[in-house]
DNA sequence: GATTGGTATATGTTCGAACAACTAAGATCC
DNA sequence: GGATCTTAGTTGTTCGAACATATACCAATC
């Protein structure tokens, strides 16, 4: 495959794109036997760690948006991994909790995360490993800055 | 936001996930004024660079899959950026070409890519910049290795 | 020259992600 | 106590991505 011009215009952007795609594919493929789709495991893990949650809490913790969480919860509910209970203190809200049946999943998920991490990091020596993490965190900070800057611009424009 | 246990189980994986999400969001937000959605610009850019293409060629170049390209082309066609012409040498295939009207997009896209790259890389000095690229390429190699290894496993299992 | 295999593209489905619009329930203030 | 604002969730839509199938068409073999 020849060098696409995307790589010329933005080598880092293009690399992020490809790494993310491969990583998501690999995660999906590792997760497949459990019946979960990528993204659902984050929600489950948070429920296991922190107990019953409101959807709004899940939205802020997962840094997702309300419609996505609504449907993810619906799918997990249909799959039997999650259950809803009315919030006694607020009739608008419901509490999402993992079902007893889902306990079995937890160790699978943890093992998959370990495996995914190891496959991703591969044969990197510890120095490269920590510099990889540092670079990614720097990129994240840059992107957060850029995103919030754009959000403010938009506000000003409106 | 407290540290989610995803970060404990797989810090690099989790960082990739977040960086990719922010990057995709930023790309989408930059692309919005043009009417394109993230992904479509890669296809257009390839058409501009290499002229009329079969979908199958686009599939291999973009490293995507056939159904995705089919629908992306359909949407770009509906939006008026792309046009199909029967391949004179093979009645099964059609050639996808950018419309004259789309020429106007090209410089916008190139500018957006530059902007995206700059926002992503941010204030990194050249040394960090090239090490970032190196790290991402290493991660990509690891993921490709892991993915193809798993593909072979699956074949063996079937 | 009809069957078989491979290629080109399309469709239907499932997901996650983002946006807009909506309902319902709480909270506040006059 | 009634109008208004906010918050919690839902639904509908559009998109990209991946998977399984289906429908053409070409090509080579028997």
Reported as a single tens digit per residue, the pLDDT across A27-69 is 999 999 999 999 999 999 999 999 999 999 999 999 999 999 9
Is the model's pLDDT at A6 over the cut of 60? no
Residue with token string 């690229």: B133
Residue A4 pLDDT? 52
Is the model's pLDDT at A3 over the cut of 80? no
Q: Which residue of A has its CA nearest to B62?
A: A4
**Do both A143 and A86 map to the same domain?**
no
**Do both B52 and B90 map to the same domain?**
yes
Residue with token string 């020429």: B103
Residue A23 pLDDT? 94
Contacts of A138 by beta carbon, 8 Å cutoff, 6+ apart: B122, B124, B128, B132
Question: Is B94 domain-assigned?
Answer: yes
**Do both A112 and A83 map to the same domain?**
yes
Is the model's pLDDT at A21 over the cut of 80? yes
**Do both B43 and B101 map to the same domain?**
yes
**Do both A78 and A138 map to the same domain?**
no
Question: How close, in Å, is residue A94 to chain B by CA atoms?
Answer: 21
Q: Which domain holds residue B29?
A: 9-36
Backbone angles phi and psi of A10, in degrees to 5:
-155, 80
Instruction: Name the E strands within B51-134.
Output: 53-54, 82-86, 94-98
Is the model's pLDDT at B141 over the cut of 70? yes
Residue B157 pLDDT? 46
**Do both B31 and B43 map to the same domain?**
no
Residue A81 pLDDT? 95
Query: What Å value separates CA A70 and C1' C22?
Result: 15
**Do both B16 and B32 map to the same domain?**
yes
Complete DSSP assignment for A17-46: HHHHHHHHHHHHHHHGGGT--TTHHHHHHH
**Mean of pLDDT values over B80-98:** 93
Residue A127 pLDDT? 81
**Do both B44 and B30 map to the same domain?**
no
Is the model's pLDDT at A108 over the cut of 70? yes
Which nucleotides of chain C are near protein (any atom < 7 Å from a CB)?
A: 6-21, 24-26
Q: How many domains does chain B have?
A: 3
Question: Is A1 domain-assigned?
Answer: no
**Do both B61 and B44 map to the same domain?**
yes
DSSP letter, residue B82? E
- In Å, what is the CA distance from B143 to each residue of A11, A21, A23, B8, B39? 18, 10, 7, 20, 21
Q: What mean pLDDT value characterizes chain B?
A: 87
Which nucleotides of chain D are near protein (any atom < 7 Å from a CB)?
A: 7-21, 24-27
Q: Are strands A94-98 and B53-54 parallel, antiparallel or unpaired?
A: unpaired
Contacts of A51 by beta carbon, 8 Å cutoff, 6+ apart: A97
**Do both B31 and B57 map to the same domain?**
no
Q: Which residue of A has its CA nearest to B115?
A: A10
**Mean of pLDDT values over A119-132:** 84
Is the model's pLDDT at B11 over the cut of 80? yes
**Mean of pLDDT values over A127-133:** 85
**Do both A111 and A131 map to the same domain?**
no
């Amino acid at each position: 495959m020849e060098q696409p011009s995307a790589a010329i215009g933005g080598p880092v952007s293009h690399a992020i794109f490809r790494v993310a795609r491969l990583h998501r594919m690999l995660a999906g493929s590792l997760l497949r036997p459990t019946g979960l789709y990528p993204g659902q495991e984050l929600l489950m893990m948070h429920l296991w760690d922190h107990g019953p949650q409101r959807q709004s809490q899940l939205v802020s913790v997962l840094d997702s948006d309300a419609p996505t969480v609504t449907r993810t919860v619906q799918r997990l509910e249909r799959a039997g991994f999650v259950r809803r209970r009315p919030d006694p203190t607020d009739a608008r809200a419901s509490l999402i909790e993992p079902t007893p049946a889902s306990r079995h999943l937890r160790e699978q998920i943890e093992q998959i995360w370990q495996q995914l991490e190891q496959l991703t990091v591969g044969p990197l020596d510890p120095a490269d490993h920590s510099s990889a993490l540092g670079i990614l965190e720097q990129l994240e900070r840059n992107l957060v800055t850029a995103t919030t800057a754009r959000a403010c611009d938009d506000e000003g424009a409106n």
